[in-house]
Amino acid sequence: MVVFAVIISTIFLVRHWQPARQIELRHRNFLLALEDHNWNRVKSYLASDYTDRFGYSRETLVPDLRQVLRQFFALTIRTQGRQTEWSVDEVKITEFVTLQGNGPGLTDFITNEVNRLTDPWSFTWKKASVWPWDWRLATVDNPGFRVPERRP
């Protein structure tokens, strides 16, 4: 009976620590942190060298996301059509993202701007250390999304 329990536990742990499983968990939890407006968690998922084509860094992205998403009393981020590309220490997740939510001010504008996009979003995750769970978001992009470049 003990041997059986050890075998089952080993199978569970091996499956749980697989890179594909860890990327899935990190990506899902990042999106949940955005929905929950948990900015410390959002920042913890970003790579120290995060950068994107709009000029954002790890330090500048979170305050601007906070400013934009604080409009929402409730926010739900839905994804579909996921494709995953693996390289040695990097994973690119490409998927369509839509927003649902309510609140005053710019919530309708923000939701419409994101939901009108016909191109999928790409999230590039990179391995941050030897630990199987240590993946960080290196960049996010959507070719159809327009934001003025951030000035330092």
Instruction: Give the chain's domains with CATH numbers.
Output: 19-141 (3.10.450.50)
Which two structure tokens, joined as six digits, stand for 135? Answer: 């993946």
* Model confidence, pTM: 0.86
Measured CA to CA, the distance from residue 32 to residue 17 in angstroms comes to: 20
C-alpha distances in Å from residue 68, one per residue of 47, 78, 83, 149: 21, 18, 27, 15
Measured CA to CA, the distance from residue 107 to residue 40 in angstroms comes to: 22
What does the pLDDT look like over 90-133, one tens digit per residue?
Answer: 999 999 999 999 998 889 999 999 999 999 999 999 999 988 88
